[in-house]
Amino acid sequence: MKLLPLAVTLLTAGLIFGVYLGNPPPEPAGDIAEYYGVTESLLRHGSLRLTDEDKNALSASLHPEYFTNPGYYLTGKDGYRYPMHFVGYSILLTPFRFLLEQFGIHPLLVFPLVNTLLLTLTVVYAMQRFFHASHKQFALFFLLFSSPLLSFLLWPGPDILFLCLFFIALCFYMERQWLTAGIFAALASWHSQPIMVMTAGILAVSAYELRASVKKNGGKYVLSVLTIIGLAAIPYLYNYLHFATWTPWTILQDFWTKTYGFGLHNISAQKLFEQLFDLNVGVFWYAPILTVAGLWQVYKNGTKHASALWLAVLMLLTLLAYQTNPAWHYGTSGYGPSRHAVILVPYLIVLVLYSHMRVAKEITIVALIALTQIVTLSTNSLLYPVFSNTLSHAPQATLVLDHYPALYNPTPEIFVDRTNHTDMDHPTSAIYKTNGVCKKAYILAADIDWVIENCGAFPINQQAAIQNTITDGFYVSY
């Protein structure tokens, strides 16, 4: 490992640690109730169940309503409440929280500090294991530490964990270490179940690529595959042990789950386009040059190497798997990209790192990628993203809606959530205004009169849209 890239990485990580230690902890957001709550339970009584004492202690730093929300801490078979989200990330956090408390540091800082440590260890490990040339190590550092992943450092959830594991899995795939890649993909799937698709696909390619050795030593291969399957199954075993179901997501009682359910019927080509290019949630707008460079490598390598083409297919299937969630559009730390699209970022970075470009060209492209991404991250406060911006239109979406509203017609829940600045549990209409002037509206049939009252009659060329509102909503641009 080269000393200078390592030193730059560790120095940057140290500065980030200092920033987080010198500022308040993150605001409660997302599923912090369970990810932080498990650390409370483990430190208090060494079990995963939520007790009244745990709840009282947690309510001092988290809002008490977290613990009356039916989406958290489901009642298990034994009558006790257990976290619905898998506990691997929380178990990892627990010893670090213990250390922070011993040093008098606010325990909620465990999230940004551990997330920063995970990203740093990923870069250092990748430098040592995969990328040995100095320019590759610097490229690795700049691509990861300027990427949209940076906005997830503060986020109180496991996104950085599974994205880093996924990145390592892809690196092993590119090194043709299929089974090791499968292990890391299985671990990544613990906190992001659609990565199971990638895990299964890696096992499939391993069976083909290792067919000669399998014939000679089939028992060892079968044992390795069963181990990977066993690793991937751990969250499902946890669910069955506590809730008597393989996945508690199917028994949630929120509107989206009851109305749409989980499954293939939620998948659409429009959502796939949005995961890449939507103005609010698409990866392109948060890493434009990285996206273009990565997609170029998909085309370039996919036409020459079967394994590269297969990886692109697996990535596509993984993106589609994220859409099976009826709430696939949810963001996390700030404007975007969506938590169900950000999985593309480590994939695109790996493609750039493993490209066979001349050194000067690669340095130029990496510099442009880093520069554009830092500029984008700066629109949402860099290391301190404003989480509530998840429910606001991103600057690029705002620009289009202000001046060319007819050009932006996303999946309705994206527009409605960010226009109304709230995550509703049922479909609603929404009116986007600029300086009090209506620019665009998504309208349900029952709200036509309300929209006309607020915005006036529909433009003449769009009045025909009313004829198709018996069951579906529609857009009107002013």
Q: Which of residues 307 and 213 earns the better pLDDT score?
A: 307
Residues 193, 95 share a domain:
no
- Evaluate whether residue 267 is within a structural domain: yes
Across 125-136, average pLDDT: 96
- Amino acid letter, residue 323: Q
Tell me how far CA of residue 74 lies from CA of 32, 48, 78, 91, 247, in angstroms.
15, 12, 11, 19, 12
Residues 139, 95 share a domain:
no
Could you give the count of Cα atoms lying within 13 Å of 147 in the half-sphere of its Cβ? 30
What are 344-357's pLDDT values in tens digits?
A: 999 999 999 999 88
pLDDT of residue 468 exceeding 70: no
Q: What is the pLDDT of residue 103?
A: 95
Average pLDDT, the chain: 91
Residues 150, 68 share a domain:
no
- Evaluate whether residue 313 is within a structural domain: yes
Alpha-carbon span 259 to 388, nearest angstrom: 26
Residues 347, 199 share a domain:
yes
Residue 329 phi, psi (nearest 5): -85, -5
Of 55-69, 155-169, 202-216, give the lowest mean pLDDT range: 202-216
Alpha-carbon span 11 to 6, nearest angstrom: 8
pLDDT of residue 478 exceeding 80: yes
Of 85-99, 310-324, 383-397, 462-476, give the lowest mean pLDDT range: 462-476
Alpha-carbon span 122 to 127, nearest angstrom: 9
- Evaluate whether residue 363 is within a structural domain: yes
Alpha-carbon span 415 to 349, nearest angstrom: 29
Place of tokens 């990886």: 311
Across 198-220, average pLDDT: 85
Given 378, 402, 422, which residue is the final one in a domain? 378
- Evaluate whether residue 14 is within a structural domain: no
- For residue 328, which of 344, 343, 339 has the smallest C-alpha distance? 339
pLDDT of residue 469 exceeding 80: no
Given 105, 123, 145, which residue is the final one in a domain? 105
Query: Confidence band (pLDDT; 50, 70, 90) for 333?
Result: confident
Q: What is the pLDDT of residue 180?
A: 97
**Domain around 207:** 131-227+254-378
Q: What is the pLDDT of residue 263?
A: 73
Residues 398, 371 share a domain:
no
What are 410-462's pLDDT values in tens digits?
A: 999 899 999 999 887 677 899 999 999 999 999 998 898 899 999 988 887 77
Across 61-79, average pLDDT: 89
Residues 364, 457 share a domain:
no
What does the buried/exposed string (b/e) look like for 372-404 if buried means 16 or more CB atoms within 10 Å of the residue's CB?
bbeebbeebeebbbebebbebbbebbbebbbee
Across 249-270, average pLDDT: 71
Number of domains composing the chain:
3
- Evaluate whether residue 118 is within a structural domain: no
pLDDT of residue 258 exceeding 70: no
Q: What is the pLDDT of residue 215?
A: 73
Q: What is the pLDDT of residue 261?
A: 66
Q: What is the pLDDT of residue 256?
A: 58
Query: Confidence band (pLDDT; 50, 70, 90) for 325?
Result: confident
Of 13-17, 115-119, 325-329, give the lowest mean pLDDT range: 325-329
- For residue 444, which of 466, 472, 403 has the smallest C-alpha distance? 472
Residues 320, 189 share a domain:
yes
Query: Confidence band (pLDDT; 50, 70, 90) for 291?
Result: very high
Alpha-carbon span 169 to 302, nearest angstrom: 19
Q: What is the pLDDT of residue 324?
A: 87
Alpha-carbon span 84 to 186, nearest angstrom: 19
Q: Cα(first)–Cα(last) distance of the chain, in Å?
A: 58
Query: Confidence band (pLDDT; 50, 70, 90) for 191?
Result: very high
What are 25-40's pLDDT values in tens digits?
A: 988 988 999 999 999 9
pTM given for the model? 0.94
Query: Confidence band (pLDDT; 50, 70, 90) for 257?
Result: low
Q: Which of residues 141 and 259 earns the better pLDDT score?
A: 141
Residues 195, 77 share a domain:
no
Query: Confidence band (pLDDT; 50, 70, 90) for 142?
Result: very high
Q: Which of residues 466 and 76 earns the better pLDDT score?
A: 76
- Evaluate whether residue 439 is within a structural domain: yes
pLDDT of residue 135 exceeding 70: yes
- Evaluate whether residue 345 is within a structural domain: yes
Q: What is the pLDDT of residue 286?
A: 94
Q: What is the pLDDT of residue 246?
A: 87
Q: Sheet containing 430-434: which strands, arranged edge to edge?
A: 430-434, 437-443, 474-477
Residues 63, 178 share a domain:
no
- Evaluate whether residue 236 is within a structural domain: no
Residues 322, 191 share a domain:
yes
Residues 158, 86 share a domain:
no
Residues 436, 291 share a domain:
no
Alpha-carbon span 288 to 370, nearest angstrom: 10
Given 355, 378, 401, which residue is the final one in a domain? 378
pLDDT of residue 394 exceeding 90: yes
